[in-house]
């Protein structure tokens, strides 16, 4: 087994390969891909493509293929979530980070898929794509953190997600960075955490972001999505899960 952690895109990213063929080069290639994504999509880097777009320095017809894909997927997600997912901020700039993280984890997993890996996981800032079995031959397990806990290691629920992706949206680690686009910059206070399990991390992440922006209605939105399950915690510490979430417990 090979396992490595690096800080990229402002968050810890862990890659773990269990297959006997695990090689350092493959792990390095995955991290190199995340570096590429960071250089292209980071709104904190002045020379990133997205920063240049926000300054009006690159016309849409000259955007890179990956940028065009992300904007197309973002528009698709906006329509599917009734506008609750929107990469246009109140400051009139584009911030696609709510989609790029899950999309990039999914693409990184495809790199390993293409090289024949069957047992691995990629964790970027708590959003995870897991495949196959862990080093003990069991399904990969992931803990949902207690949003009120003093320690990041305090877990309130353990789920088994092999063959799926899981993303959690909330304000308890990064502060208020998700907003209801229908009302602007008003803080979201009713719900403190929404975890979504989906067929892959790209799908789970984009809908977790939208569900959190919806507040209390977010868990009902996830309930209606085929192939998705969710677990929401409100400001009073009361958890609500979708009908079949317990299949992952």
* % of the chain residues with pLDDT over 90: 87
Instruction: With beta carbons less than 8 A apart as the criterion, state whether 43 and 50 touch.
Output: yes
Rounded to a whole number of angstroms, the CA Rg of the chain reads: 18
Give the pLDDT mean for 203-218. 95
Residue-level pLDDT at 185: 61
Instruction: Quick: pLDDT tens for 168-185.
Output: 998 645 544 566 665 666
- pLDDT reported for residue 30: 98
- Pairing mode, strands 155-160 and 164-170: unpaired
Superfamily of chain region 2-248: ApbE-like domains (3.10.520.10)
Q: Which of the four pLDDT bands, split at 50, 70 and 90, describes residue 149?
A: confident
Specify the DSSP element, H or E, that contains 7: strand 2-8
Q: Give the model confidence (pLDDT) of 216-249 as tens digits.
A: 999 999 999 999 999 999 999 999 999 999 999 9
Q: Are 191 and 212 in contact (CB under 8 A)?
A: yes
Q: What is the DSSP string of 78-130?
A: HHHTTTSS-SB-TTS-B-THHHHHHHHHHHHHHHHHHTT--SEEEEETTEEEE
């Amino acid at each position: 087994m090979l396992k490595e952690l690096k800080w990229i895109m402002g968050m810890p990213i862990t890659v773990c390969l269990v297959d006997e063929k695990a090689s350092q080069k493959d792990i390095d290639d995955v991290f190199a891909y995340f570096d590429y994504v960071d250089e292209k999509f980071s709104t904190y880097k002045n020379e990133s493509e997205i920063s240049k777009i926000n300054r009006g320095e690159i016309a849409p017809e000259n955007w890179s293929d990956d940028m065009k894909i992300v904007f197309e997927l973002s528009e698709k997600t906006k329509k599917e979530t009734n506008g609750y997912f929107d990469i246009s901020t109140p400051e009139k700039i584009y911030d696609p980070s709510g989609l790029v993280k899950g999309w990039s984890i999914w693409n990184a997993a495809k790199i390993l898929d293409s090289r024949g890996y069957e047992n691995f996981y990629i964790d970027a800032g708590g959003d995870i794509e897991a495949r196959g079995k862990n080093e003990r031959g069991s399904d990969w397990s992931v803990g949902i953190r207690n949003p009120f806990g003093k320690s990041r290691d305090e877990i309130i629920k353990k789920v088994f997600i092999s063959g799926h992706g899981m993303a959690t949206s909330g304000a308890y680690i990064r502060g208020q960075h998700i907003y209801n686009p229908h009302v602007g910059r008003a803080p979201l206070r009713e719900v403190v955490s929404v975890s979504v399990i989906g067929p892959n991390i790209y799908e789970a992440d984009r809908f977790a972001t939208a569900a959190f922006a919806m507040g209390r209605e977010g868990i009902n939105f996830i309930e209606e999505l085929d192939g998705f399950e969710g677990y929401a915690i409100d400001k009073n510490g009361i958890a609500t899960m979708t009908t079949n979430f317990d299949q992952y417990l």
